[in-house]
Every structure is written in C-alpha cells, then in structure tokens.
Structure 1
Amino acid sequence: MTVWDRLVGQRPVVHALSQAASGRGMTHAWLFTGPPGSGRSNAAIAFAGALQCEQQGCGECHECVTVAAGSHADVNVVRTQKLSIGVDEVRHLVRSASLRPVGRRWQVLIVEDADRLTDQAFNALLKAIEEPTPHTVWMLCAPSVEDVLPTIRSRCRLVTLTTPTTRDVADFLVRTADVTPSLAAYAARASQGHIGRARALALDEATRNRRREVVSLPSRLTGLGACMNAAANLAEVAKEEADAITSEYDVREKADLDASYGVVERGRRPREYAPALAALDKAQKTRAKRQVLDVVDRSLMDLVSVYRDAIALRAGAPGELVNEEMRGEIAELARVSTPEEHLIRIERIFQAREQMLDYNVPVALALESMMVGLQLERSAR
C-alpha cells in the first residue's frame, strides 16, 4: 500500500501531488482545502511521506512509515484541541522552519486547522512563507481558501479535495477496516463522505447507537416537553462523549506537568508550579469546550440529514437516502410536512449552530431554542 492509497476518492489530487513529489510543479507552500472529512490532513501527511521517500511514496520504507506514524524527525505536524492556534505556537514552528533538515531531503511543517490561527499567528506565519528557507515546505489545511488570509493563500499552491462518494468510502472501509459490505455501506451513507466519521461508525457500536438516537429525534418532537427533554439529552450525551475523549489527555498532561516540576519526587510544589497548573487548567477547559461543540456539531449535521431525506423523498429524487434504514419514519415526516417546512427546520438547525460556534451561546440554551422551533413549525401546520 502506497501513501496515496489512504486518500479516498481523490484521484486528481493524488496525480498532482505525486507529480510534485517527483519534481514537477514543486513549491515551498501548499494550501489543502476541502469539506470536513475529505482528508485534508491525510493528503498533507501522504505528500510529506512522498517528499521524504526515495520512491515518492512507496508506503513501506522507513521514511514513509515514520511520517505516517508521526515520528519522522523532519516532519512537524501542528494539531490543536483548543478553539484557536496562538502566536506562540506558530513562532515555535517558524523557529523550527529555520533549521536544516536532519535527513537529506525536506523539512516539512504541516498546520492542521489553519483556519483556527489567530490574526497574530497568521502574521507570524506570513514572514516565514514569504521568505522560505531552502528545503522547507509549508502545508496548511483549512476548509476553504476564505478561511486563510489572502496574503497567505496567494503564496501557496492550492490543493482542493472533494467529498468522496459513498461507494468510494464503503470500498475503503471494506479494504482497511475489515467490516462487512452492508456495515460499510451504512457507515458510508451515514457519514456523508466524512472518512473519520465513517470509520467510527463502522468500528464502534456505541457511536452507531448515539447516532441512531439523534436521527430518531425529529419524529419524537411532538410537544414542548419532548423538545426540552431532547435538548437536555443531546447536551448531556455530548458532554459525556467529550469528557470520555478529553479525560485521558487531561490525566496524562497533569502527570507530565507534575513530573516536569518534580512534584512527585520532591513532595512539594515549587513557586513556578501554580501558574503552570493554572495555564494547564485553562487550556484543558478550552479543549473540553471545543470537544463538546464538535460532538454537538456532528449531531446537528445528522439531524439535517433526516430533513434532507424527507425533502428528497417528497420530491421523488432518485437514489438511496442518507438514512435509508429508517425510510418508514422519514416517509411519515415527508407526509406531514412540506419541503418548505423542512427547509425552515434546517435553517433553525444552522441558526443554532451559528449561535454556539460564532456567538458563544450556551449549548443547552441554543439546543432548547432549536428543538422548540422544530416542533412549533410542525404544529403550525
């Protein structure tokens, strides 16, 4: 398996990057864009492996294996669990970019979620991209070019990924996750082309159960009490899932902090420990908040898929539904409401999403307003 085999449904991208890795069209800065789950960071990491590999991405040599594992000395990947990437992190990365590569080929710096860079961080990055050092390659990943400053994107070669087809995702799961074709087909449809989400749905029954609970909500929003309960349950499940994801990180980071300040060995806390602990606590709370928002956001997109299916069914659109396994419930939704009313529901969902992500409205409050709005539109009819 070559490094390119991990990219699902991205043949034009694979061709362009493999050509660049062999020396045709190579440049010092790249911007990878595409919808969530399309594989932006996977494409960047695959390209980094190809640049370090003598055979442009064989997938089996030491260079390819260590890049994929995240342990290659000349490939630095910046990820964040926080709401933003600050200037200090970028300045550290810029200092790394000024060093010569340990090996004989490239120093590669990959910034995932480049859309989360603060304005100060973007400005710190701009100078490094404007005046690149030899053998240094920058790779930025963002949902769209509009998420990156014009002065940055104008200096990058654009690589645009698309949402892979359901068939491509299902074939990938059967090939790499060792699941049955029927389960792979369900995960591919339900994920709507999001590779990471598809793997989670295919491999984890708890993830499948949580999604089934979410997509069953529209048919149960028959009164104010049901709406409030649905909002409370969704907020609680999101927090529980986020806590399960972040708690392991929190414990490990606290242990590392204690070890670095000698708290365990010395049995006392030095003066510098308290501010460091406060900074860690603040960072962990920020990460927990982002994780809750990420979980809720996935649930909202699952809700949207139900209403889109109802619109498609009412309009007689060909092809399978995203939620094909609940066609009966969706047929009932299509019967009791017009497509225009379902579009209003979808608008309500995106309003709640905007409130939480852009205006910092508390999750529970935004969900309560949204659920009531979904039910009231049906009652009005």
Structure 2
Amino acid sequence: MSVWDELTGQSDAIEVFRAAAASAADSDDAGNSMTHSWLITGPPGSGRSNLAFAFATALLSTNPDGDEATQRQVEARSHPDLAVLATERVIITIDEVRTLVASSQFSPSVARYRVMVIEDADRMTERTSNLLLKALEEPPPRTVWILCAPSEADLIPTIRSRVRSVRLRVPAVADVAKLIERRDGVDPEIALRAAREAQSHIGMAHRLATNDDARRRREQTLRSALGIRSVSDAVMAAATMLELAGDDAKAITLERDAQERESALRSLGIEPGGTIPPALRSQLKNLEEDQKRRATRSLRDGIDRVMVDLQSLFRDVLLVQLGASVELVNLSLEAELRAAAEASQPHQTLAVLDAIATARRRIEGNVAPALALEAMLIAATRKDHA
C-alpha cells in the first residue's frame, strides 16, 4: 500500500511530492537532488498536514511510495529522523522554534534525510519567523523543512522567498465522502452528508460522519439561528451557540486528555489510581497546563466552526432566494431554508453574511465571543437593511 493512498482530491500536489521523493531516492548526491524547504498551503481541511507527513514518510523510506514500518513510526511521531512542531497554543513560541532549529543541525541517523515539519507555520510572530529564516537560508545538506499554512500571505516575504510552495485545492465533496466511507467504514449516505456539511473539510467530515452528538449539536446550532425573530431570541441563541461550541470542544479534548494522562503515568511507572510521588507531580502539572491551553484553543476553534456553519446556512438561504441551481450545503434543512428565504429579501441575507464575517474578525481580535455573537445574530432580526 502506498503512503499516498489515504490522500484525496490533490492529485497534482501528490505528483509533485512523489516526483521529489523519487528524485531524492535515486540521486547519488542528496544535497542537489531536491528542494530542501517546502511550503504546503491550502484551506482548512484540505489535508495540508496529511500531505506533509506522507512526503516525510516517503523521504524517510527507501521506497518513494513509503514502507509500512516507516509509516507507523511517522504516525506515532517516533521516527528518529523526524521532528514535528504542532502547537496547541494560539501562537508558536520562539523557544519552540529555537529548539527545532537546533535539532535540524543533526545529521540523519537511519534515513537519507532529517525531516522537520511545522504544522501551523502561520502561528509564528515576526520575531520567531526571523529565527526560522536563518535555518532556511543555510540548511544542512540532508535536512528538509516542510511548513504548512493556509496561504503564502500568512508568512513573512523573506520566508516565502526561501521555500517551494505547493498550493492545495478544496477537495470535491464526492472525493471526501469516498475517503470517509472507505477509511471509517460508514454508510455512503452518511459519508456524503458529512462531507457536504463539512464543506469538504476532511477532519470535520470524519467527525460528523462518526459522531452522532457532533451532528446533533451542529443541527441544533443552525435551527437556533433560523428560529430568531427578535432581539431577545438573538441573545438567547448566542448563549445556546456558545454552550454548544463549549460542549463540542470538551468532547474533542476530554478523550485525548485522558489518553495523554494515562500514557504519562505509564511512562513514569505509576499504576492507574496509584499515588503520584511529589517529585513527579511537576511533570503532570506541566501536562495539565498544556491541556488547558489546548482547551482554550479548541473552544476558539469551536466558535469559529459555528461561524462557518452559519455562513453555510445563510449562503443556502441566499441561493434559494436567487433561484440558483447550486446544491445546498444543508439539504437536511431544506424546508426550513425555503421558509426563511420567503420571509426575507436577498439584501437582508447579504447583510447577515456581512455580520458573520465581521463577528469572525472581532473574535479573532479578542472581542468577547458572547458580545460578537449577540451583535451578529441581532443583525439577523433586522428587516430594514439598505
């Protein structure tokens, strides 16, 4: 089985990386065989990280299509020649990048290359980016950097000039559905609905297809928005959406937190339910602090997912109002969408979409989510938009 088989909808990008990996494997002079700094860009859910680790696997294997043993090591992030930086914080700290840059100077121990992956390169400040720039300008001959970001504009110009950029596109809904169906063993109809409602976001499609509660929370969010008739309804809907986003964030993090704690205790030689020696408590405290930071980010991401879902909802309303022959995202709510379309005008729906975009910018600028959501939903009650 090829390391590229689990990727979908990115045939052009896959060919670029497959050719680079083949060139690296065939070349006697590894220093000149391929580009040593890469940037993978694309919209959320397009598979940036999946492609990065597939490429890393191919580079670390003797076969450009990867081998099973190396693939297992890369998936476990345990390969000795792989270093990964993926932050759970809002930003990547300069100390994290400094440690990674120092590690990049080591020669590979078992593979032809040493591969450095930064999953969220857009989360670096300018000062941190400048530290990374020095490593990209003069990389060791057998070190390969793979950065991932939503777009080239998210990185400083000097870094963009040092990397080879590969742009991913949004996968087709049908392609994502087939991947979810094959990989997760779900019913084809559920896989197609999940892929459509996730708007081809592979990770979200997986969650919607395999988690009944996630589907229920999403539908409840949309129905609460459609039920707004007054300012008081808007305020109550905002509170409901925050609660649902919080529940979704907790569901995502709780299971992972428990697994991490169990793994940490096992690595420290402590039996489940056993007493933790005072000398080891600081290590668990550091883990708990990291988990709290991840929970904060997960909540922010959950609120933004609510915004994206609301955008899809009012986009559907607008399409119905305009009579466009384009498939709706939220087909399960078609009757409610048509009722909402009849109760308002296209210019009013556009104003609501503008309000959602404004709310996303405000929350990104650290405005309290409750206030931003209330202001956004109140816009949905107005009937006098110019």
TM-score (norm 2): 0.89
Identity %: 41
Among 303, 307, 324, which residue is 1:300 paired with? 307
Matched, 1:166 2:173: yes
**How far apart, CA to CA, are the structure 1 residues paired with 2:4 and 2:279?**
49
SS at match of 1:4: coil
Aligned partner of 1:56 in structure 2 is 64
Matched, 1:219 2:210: no
Aligned partner of 1:80 in structure 2 is 87
**How far apart, CA to CA, are the structure 2 residues paired with 1:378 and 1:250?**
46
Aligned partner of 2:13 in structure 1 is 13
Q: Tell me whether 108-117 or 225-234 shows the greater mean CA deviation.
A: 225-234
**How far apart, CA to CA, are the structure 1 residues paired with 2:288 and 2:360?**
26
Structure 1 gaps of 5+ residues are none
**How far apart, CA to CA, are the structure 1 residues paired with 2:159 and 2:110?**
28
Kindly indicate whether the alpha-carbon contact (under 8 Å) linking 1:52 and 1:64 is maintained by their aligned counterparts in 2: no
Aligned partner of 1:145 in structure 2 is 152
Matched, 1:42 2:43: no
SS at match of 1:108: strand
Matches within 5 A, 1:1-381: 1-23=1-23, 26-58=34-66, 60-247=67-254, 252=260, 268=278, 283-357=290-364, 359-375=365-381, 377-378=382-383
**How far apart, CA to CA, are the structure 1 residues paired with 2:175 and 2:276?**
56
Q: Tell me whether 189-198 or 98-107 shows the greater mean CA deviation.
A: 98-107
| Cα displacement string for residues 156-177 of structure 1 (whole angstroms, at most 9, x for unaligned residues) | 0001000001111111112211
**How far apart, CA to CA, are the structure 1 residues paired with 2:276 and 2:222?**
53
SS at match of 1:104: coil
The one-letter amino acid of 1:31's match is L
Aligned partner of 2:27 in structure 1 is none
The one-letter amino acid of 1:44's match is A
Kindly indicate whether the alpha-carbon contact (under 8 Å) linking 2:221 and 2:244 is maintained by their aligned counterparts in 1: no
**How far apart, CA to CA, are the structure 1 residues paired with 2:277 and 2:36?**
49
Q: CA deviation at 1:35?
A: 0.3
Q: Tell me whether 63-72 or 90-99 shows the greater mean CA deviation.
A: 63-72
Kindly indicate whether the alpha-carbon contact (under 8 Å) linking 1:38 and 1:193 is maintained by their aligned counterparts in 2: yes
Kindly indicate whether the alpha-carbon contact (under 8 Å) linking 1:221 and 1:227 is maintained by their aligned counterparts in 2: yes
Kindly indicate whether the alpha-carbon contact (under 8 Å) linking 1:115 and 1:143 is maintained by their aligned counterparts in 2: yes
**How far apart, CA to CA, are the structure 2 residues paired with 1:253 and 1:322?**
39
| Cα displacement string for residues 145-166 of structure 1 (whole angstroms, at most 9, x for unaligned residues) | 0001111111100010000011
Q: CA deviation at 1:74?
A: 1.1
**How far apart, CA to CA, are the structure 1 residues paired with 2:149 and 2:300?**
18
The one-letter amino acid of 1:96's match is S
**How far apart, CA to CA, are the structure 1 residues paired with 2:254 and 2:209?**
24
Q: Tell me whether 166-175 or 201-210 shows the greater mean CA deviation.
A: 166-175
Measured on the aligned residues, the alpha-carbon RMSD in Å equals 2.6
SS at match of 2:165: strand
**How far apart, CA to CA, are the structure 1 residues paired with 2:276 and 2:310?**
53
Kindly indicate whether the alpha-carbon contact (under 8 Å) linking 1:21 and 1:51 is maintained by their aligned counterparts in 2: yes
**How far apart, CA to CA, are the structure 1 residues paired with 2:242 and 2:119?**
27
Q: CA deviation at 1:243?
A: 3.0
Count of residues in correspondence between the two structures: 373
Structure 2 gaps of 5+ residues are 25-32
**How far apart, CA to CA, are the structure 1 residues paired with 2:161 and 2:245?**
38
Q: CA deviation at 1:333?
A: 1.7
Q: CA deviation at 1:336?
A: 1.8
**How far apart, CA to CA, are the structure 1 residues paired with 2:340 and 2:113?**
55
**How far apart, CA to CA, are the structure 2 residues paired with 1:254 and 1:54?**
35
**How far apart, CA to CA, are the structure 1 residues paired with 2:237 and 2:9?**
36
Q: CA deviation at 1:119?
A: 2.0
TM-score (norm 1): 0.90
Change (3 A) 1:153 1:289: same
**How far apart, CA to CA, are the structure 2 residues paired with 1:16 and 1:360?**
39
Change (3 A) 1:61 1:256: closer
